[in-house]
Amino acid sequence: MSTLEIKDLHVSIDTEQGEVEILKGVSLTINSGETHAIMGPNGSGKSTLAQAIAGHPAYNVTSGTVLLDGEDVLEMEVDERAQAGLFLAMQYPVEVPGVSMTNFLRTAKTALDGEAPTIRTWAKDVREAMENLEMDQTFATRNVNEGFSGGEKKRAEILQLELFKPKFAILDETDSGLDIDALRVVSDGVNRAQENNGMGSLLITHYTRILRYIKPDFVHVFVDGKIVDSGGAELADRLEDEGYVNYEKTEATA
């Protein structure tokens, strides 16, 4: 079993007004096979947590640790974090003109595993994964995310997730911009990856609708850069009814 352990993480960004602290002491432990949902209002720092774990250079970790099976993630380069078993499904996947999906997927898989997958097995795996995600096979020849709709970009992210087989996936608002059918397909892909590979998931979302398809083991409420409450799936239902206003009032008066 693998463990992703975040301990008292503080993260800031540089602005024209100076350094601004966004994360103010986040601690969280995720084990293999677990799904942890993080919910909170806009601007609470949820995406900052995702980007800091992944190694985005715009986010400065000022204190705290992130350990993957005891190894210090924060000392790793971005590619080393991926090789160690971390995967970030981005809120806004970027276009990569001139690079086909086929070339990107195989090159990335080779970099992650340290050796190229066999052509026959790899072609079969890609075809089956695309069929499961209800993606037309012509997507394999198109440039990465170029001209893709929002839903197509999210399916392409989950295609990578299924093929790369990470230990832990960080899903940053994967449900944004998805219609009901696409949400179901994408959620099924996440569930398959978890069932087949024992993957742990950190699912960042504003809404409970994706949690109807991806059942969380734990739900954490994120306000003003820190976790202010945790519970089971029932906490998400309460948030749907009550919102975050009571938590925000508590933090404002703290």
pLDDT digits (tens, 9 = 90+) for 102-117: 999 999 999 999 999 9
How far is the C-alpha of 182 from the C-alpha of 197, rounded, in Å? 23
Nearest CA among 29, 8, 39, 30 for reference residue 229:
39
Q: pLDDT category, 149, cuts 50, 70, 90?
A: confident
Query: 0.85 exceeded by the pTM?
Result: yes
What was the pLDDT predicted at 151?
Answer: 86
Out of 50-59, 126-135, 245-254, pick the least confident. Answer: 245-254
251 pLDDT higher than 80? no
Give the per-residue pLDDT at 199.
96
**Length of the chain counted residue by residue:** 254
CA angle 162, 177, 179 (to 5 degrees): 85
Sheet holding 3-15, edge to edge: 18-31, 3-15, 60-68, 71-72
Q: Where are the domains of the chain?
A: 3-253
> 177 versus 66: which is more confidently predicted?
66
From 82, 72, 102, select the one nearest 161 (Cα to Cα): 82
Please provide the average confidence, as pLDDT, over all residues in the chain.
Answer: 92
pLDDT above 70 (res 155): yes
Q: What is the per-residue DSSP string for the chain?
A: --EEEEEEEEEEEEETTEEEEEEEEEEEEEETT-EEEEE--TTSSHHHHHHHHHT-TTSEEEEEEEEETTEEGGGS-HHHHHHHTEEEE-SSPPPEEEEEHHHHHHHHHHHHHSSPPPHHHHHHHHHHHHHHTT--GGGGGSEETTT--HHHHHHHHHHHHHHH--SEEEEESTTTT--HHHHHHHHHHHHHHHHHH--EEEEEES-SGGGGTS--SEEEEEETTEEEEEESHHHHHHHHHH-SHHHHHHHHH-
Is the pLDDT assigned to residue 253 strictly greater than 60?
no
Mean pLDDT value of segment 123-151: 91
Residue-wise pLDDT tens digits, 16-72:
888 999 999 999 999 999 999 999 988 899 999 999 999 999 999 999 999 999 999
pLDDT for 100 beyond 90? yes
Closest CA to 209 of 180, 244, 182, 243: 180
Range 3-253 has CATH code 3.60.21.10: no
Separation between Cα atoms, residue 123 and residue 28, nearest integer Å: 38
